[in-house]
Amino acid sequence: MRTHPQLARIPAMLVSALAFAAFGAAAQPATSAPPMTAAELEAGKKIYFERCAGCHGVLRKGATGKNLEPHWTAKGADGSMQEGGTLKLGTQRLERIIGLGTEGGMVNYDDILTKEEINIMARYIQQTPDVPPEFSLKDMEQSWKLIVPVAERPKRQMHKVNLKNVFAITLRDAGKLALVDGDTKEIWQILDTGYAVHISRLSASGRYVYTVGRDGLVTLIDLWYETPTTVATVKLGADARSVDTSKFKGFEDKYLIGGTYWPPQYSIMEGETLKPLKVVSTRGNTVDGDYHPEPRVASIVSSMIKPEWVVNVKETGQIMLVDYSDIKNLKTTTIESAKFLHDGGWDASKRYFLVAANASNKIAAVDTKTGKLAALVDTKKIPHPGRGANFTHPTFGPVWATGHLGDAVVTLISTPSEKASDAKFKTHNWKVVQELPMPGAGNLFVKTHPKSTNLWADMPMNPERENAESVYVFSLKDLNKAPVKIDVAKDSGLPQTKALRRATHPEYNEAGDEVWISLWGGKTDQSAIVVYDDKTLKLKKVITDPRIVTPTGKFNVWNTQHDIY
């Protein structure tokens, strides 16, 4: 059968980068699943990986998204649509869910996928899941490219760009990273990276940017060249989300750690070359005591007070403190928290790491000094902090903020402080002290800055266009006041498109007086980065260019290097 023209538009580069060929033998349709041609199966496999696996898991056991195994997606072998009193989904219902989304938080795909693609996906997820191959240290070594050895790199910064105010910006569907000069707001360089770079992190030195693509490709970019240059790449596996360097004194940038969704493991590399050194599986038991075959590595952060990384394992709900002082004799502390661990950030003191256990509607706080769980805080539905935001609340002292995908609030949690002047706030510690009402659910990221009196919150996953395309700004001086709405799509001056132009990921500049918002449009639409003055909330600049497509995360060098949020 001929591939649908929409599918033929997907660049061949992405297909090979995603290594779908490596996903093993073609899936064998379960006896009850609707038939599919080999071309449809391949298309389904590719779309599932790009759009669905992040939430539902490669093995479709479910995490942020529901379980999608055939026992309840497909008809029984006898044609029955019931299993133990549960109504099975079947093609028509699945098509509706994929197209229109659900109230449970599943986004609608009718503006991203064609009708035919939606039909393919509805049939694909009734088939037995494909089990991708493992990825060993040897596979990493074979993928490793040291493009410029350390000795051949510049000995000093070869330009006058203010590196502290450079922004690394993911161009998601283009598989690229834009480096934008924050002072001039000019695009400095656009580089090829892995597909849909999820995060960029900075070296402790501030010289190197590390990106990790959804396809598991880590790219090491040297900012000292006349124009930023990729000096090494390595593949971690088939599907990844997180990286960080070693930041403890004496170990600065000696190592890099990367976490993968598939295979479920983390890998340790040399920080300046990406030479693979060690792979550690995260397979094991959940906090409930059940074995899980796919415990994916979610957020990772490097401690400044010990030679340790905090590695959050999604499906098991276990937080691992990985001591990198002797990687041949690796010691890890495993801290029980709750499921499913996702994203998170430091409190203001940088002693506690707060991470969303999103399916449990909790925030887990780990004390990196004692190596123990400090608290499990109940919150509203599906907390999604990004890295969160820290500020001093007028009544409750130091707080850390998280937004929610599943509820219309921003939650403020009191965090401990060793300052004598904060002793009076101790009784509030690890309690939700305030919930700031938002106009709807669907928040992904909140942000503030020590020099700012504002708290910015996006809501790109809200189903209403006017909400998804706007951001909301709370005044820290009066948190009882409703937030100011800013219509980012309108301010961009770009024409309205069929696809939503989601306003997302507020990021401050180095000075803390500007906020940059990504306007994340359709994969073929020109998008923009819209810059606001933080004090006046007035539009300052629209950075747009035909190459700016699907911008998502933005990482200011100084703020990322120093965990300022």
Residues 113-172 that bind ligand DHE (CB under 6 A): 172
SS3 4: coil
Q: Is 196 in the site for ligand DHE (CB under 6 A)?
A: yes
CA 257 to chain CA mean position, Å = 16
Among 106, 269, 438, 459, the one annotated catalytic: 106
With contacts defined by CB under 6 A, name the span among 38-46, 98-106, 195-203, 531-539 that binds ligand DHE: 195-203
Active site residue 292: no
| CA atoms of 118 and 44, how far apart (whole Å) | 9
Closer Cβ to ligand DHE, 163 or 171, answer by number: 171
The answer to whether the beta carbons of residues 97 and 89 sit under 8 Å apart is: yes
Shortest Å, Cβ 37 to ligand DHE: 26
Shortest Å, Cβ 550 to ligand DHE: 8
Shortest Å, Cβ 458 to ligand DHE: 9
With contacts defined by CB under 6 A, name the span among 33-41, 174-182, 293-301, 522-530 that binds ligand DHE: 293-301
Q: Is 198 in the site for ligand DHE (CB under 6 A)?
A: yes
Which residues on neighbouring strands pair with residue 543, listed in sequence order? Answer: 529
Residue 340 preceded by cis peptide, ω within 30: yes
Residues 44-73 that bind ligand DHE (CB under 6 A): 54-55, 64
Q: What are phi and psi of 412, to 5 degrees?
A: -110, 125
| CA atoms of 204 and 306, how far apart (whole Å) | 14
Q: How many residues bind ligand DHE (CB under 6 A)?
A: 21
| CA atoms of 260 and 216, how far apart (whole Å) | 7
| CA atoms of 194 and 181, how far apart (whole Å) | 22
With contacts defined by CB under 6 A, name the span among 193-201, 361-369, 375-383, 388-396 that binds ligand DHE: 193-201
Among 140, 198, 292, 384, the one annotated catalytic: 384
Residues 518-557 that bind ligand DHE (CB under 6 A): 552-553
Q: Is 300 in the site for ligand DHE (CB under 6 A)?
A: yes
- Name which position in 120, 199, 410, 500 contacts ligand DHE (CB under 6 A): 199
Q: Is 267 in the site for ligand DHE (CB under 6 A)?
A: no
As to burial, measured by CB atoms within 10 angstroms (0-12 exposed, 13-18 middle, 19+ buried), residue 563 is: middle
CA angle 295, 296, 297 (to 5 degrees): 125
Q: What are phi and psi of 507, to 5 degrees?
A: -140, 130
DSSP state letter for 51: I
- How many Cβ atoms are within 10 Å of 450's Cβ, its own excluded? 13
Active site residue 55: yes
Active site residue 342: yes
For residues 83, 87, 90, 96, the Cα torsion angle rounded to the nearest 10 degrees is -160
Closer Cβ to ligand DHE, 242 or 429, answer by number: 242
Reading the block at residue 146, the tokens are 């040291």
Convert 411-437 to b/e letters by CB count within 10 Å (16 or more is b).
bbbbbbbeeeebeebeebbbebbbebe
Among 36, 56, 269, 449, the one annotated catalytic: 56
| CA atoms of 281 and 422, how far apart (whole Å) | 41
Q: Is 429 in the site for ligand DHE (CB under 6 A)?
A: no
With contacts defined by CB under 6 A, name the span among 118-126, 194-202, 430-438, 471-479 that binds ligand DHE: 194-202
Which residues on neighbouring strands pair with residue 217, listed in sequence order? Answer: 235
| CA atoms of 397 and 425, how far apart (whole Å) | 6
- Name which position in 105, 386, 506, 551 contacts ligand DHE (CB under 6 A): 386
| CA atoms of 419 and 220, how far apart (whole Å) | 38
Among 198, 292, 342, 404, the one annotated catalytic: 342
Closer Cβ to ligand DHE, 182 or 397, answer by number: 182
**Residues 308-347 vs ligand DHE: string with x where CB under 6 A?**
----------------------------------xx----
Active site residue 52: yes
Site residues (vs ligand DHE, CB under 6 A): 54-55, 64, 172, 196, 198-199, 241-242, 298-300, 342-343, 386-387, 444, 504-505, 552-553
Q: Which residues are catalytic?
A: 52, 55-56, 106, 342, 384
